[in-house]
Amino acid sequence: MSGLLRRIEARIGAGETMGRVRHVARIAGGYTLLVIGVAGLFLPVIPGTLLIIAGAAMLGWDLKKIKGARDRIVSWWRRKR
């Protein structure tokens, strides 16, 4: 384990470190999927809409605005059915 990681764990605790790593990974992955999804709207090989939905779902775990939008869409969908 690197010295930097040891210092971080000593400062905030090992469990919190993994939680923060997961948080950052979800946000980075979500934005990556969104960017690829937007590119996929213009490129015929990449399924843009599917990747945008997947990216928004990933970001919905951590970002309140997207979670609120997701909740509104889900409630609208349930009312429609």
Task: Calculate Rg over the CA atoms of the chain.
Answer: 17
Helices (H) and strands (E) in the chain, counts: 4, 0
4-55 residue pLDDT tens = 767 766 666 656 667 777 888 888 988 999 999 999 989 888 888 889 888 8
Q: Is the pTM of this model over 0.75?
A: no
Whole-number pLDDT of residue 20: 77
Token representation of residue 38: 């937007």
Would the CA dihedral through 49, 50, 51, 53 be positive or negative? positive
Q: How far is C-alpha 63 from the geometric centre of its chain's CA atoms?
A: 8
Place of tokens 């990556």: 32
Whole-number pLDDT of residue 57: 84
47-76 residue pLDDT tens = 888 898 888 888 887 777 788 887 888 888
